């Protein structure tokens, strides 16, 4: 069956240019058909993940910004549950003499999930990226992401172009190295801003696994 992803977040300024946020996310993988060691059918089962997170980000001086997230993650599969705490941290730096911004992020710092038959480590990753404004309203970005435990590397490039101040078109390409490449290559998206309302749509194909479509709504007040 098809899966479904839903998320909600709230962010507000704290002080000194810093912003705090709370977010919730849930991913339902849908139903699966179970089989035993002889490949005989054993019935269907479901799986899902959910997380709660607190975040804070802001400037630390000299064109450098810092952000951190603390998260509680829980997972359910075939009647078994597991949970863990994790953290993300990142830093950005704006080049003083060029329209370039650099970024470094470490995600899923923490323990693992234990469903009762051994610990499953969270997918610790390290990402390094850069973005540059090449034309008024147009930006190019690239990043390299390394999955530490799986020893896989993903290289991504993307662009964003703003039309008339209210519409943004996005496109990108990703390639995975060091493992089975499930990424479908090209992806795209569209953003629309109307007063204090923002709508974003994205489409990402996965080789052999269909595609992911995401619609996000943001409201500022």
Strand-pair partners of 214: 202
Local confidence band at 184 (pLDDT 50, 70, 90 cut-offs): low
Contacts 24+ apart (CB under 8 A), 162-169: 162/137, 162/138, 163/137, 165/193, 166/192, 166/193, 166/194, 167/191, 167/192, 167/193, 168/192, 168/193
Average pLDDT, the chain: 88
Distance separating alpha carbons of residues 103 and 177, to the nearest angstrom: 21
Give the pLDDT score at 209.
56
**Residue 211 dihedral angles phi and psi, to the nearest 5°:** -145, 160
The pLDDT confidence band at residue 194, using thresholds 50, 70 and 90, is confident
Average pLDDT over residues 73-101: 91
Q: How confident is the model at residue 4 (pLDDT cuts 50, 70, 90)?
A: confident
Using pLDDT thresholds of 50, 70 and 90, give the confidence band for residue 180. low
**pLDDT confidence of residue 131:** 96
Distance CA 15, CA 58 (A): 9
Q: What is the pLDDT of residue 2?
A: 64
Distance CA 115, CA 76 (A): 9
Cα–Cα distances in angstroms (integers) from residue 27 to residues 5, 47, 158, 215, in the given order: 4, 9, 25, 14
Q: How confident is the model at residue 103 (pLDDT cuts 50, 70, 90)?
A: very high
């Amino acid at each position: 069956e098809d899966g479904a992803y839903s998320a909600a977040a709230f962010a507000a300024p704290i002080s000194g240019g810093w912003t705090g946020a709370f977010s919730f996310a849930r991913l339902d993988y849908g139903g699966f058909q179970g089989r035993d060691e002889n490949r005989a059918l054993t019935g269907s089962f479901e799986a899902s993940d959910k997380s709660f997170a607190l975040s804070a980000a802001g400037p630390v001086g000299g064109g450098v910004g810092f952000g951190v997230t603390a998260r509680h993650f829980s997972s359910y599969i075939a009647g078994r549950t597991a949970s863990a705490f994790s953290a993300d941290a990142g830093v950005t730096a704006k080049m003083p003499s060029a329209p370039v911004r650099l970024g470094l992020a470490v995600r899923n710092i923490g323990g693992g999930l234990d469903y009762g038959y051994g610990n499953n480590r969270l997918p610790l990753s390290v990402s390094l990226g850069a973005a540059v404004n090449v034309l008024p309203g147009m930006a190019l970005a690239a990043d390299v992401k390394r999955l530490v435990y799986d020893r896989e590397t993903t290289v991504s490039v993307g662009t964003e172009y703003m039309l008339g101040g209210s519409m943004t078109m996005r496109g990108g390409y990703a390639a995975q190295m060091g493992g089975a490449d499930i990424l479908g290559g090209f992806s795209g998206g569209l953003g629309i801003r109307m007063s204090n309302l923002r709508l974003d749509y994205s489409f990402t194909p996965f080789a052999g696994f269909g595609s992911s479509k995401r619609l996000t709504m943001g409201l500022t007040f």
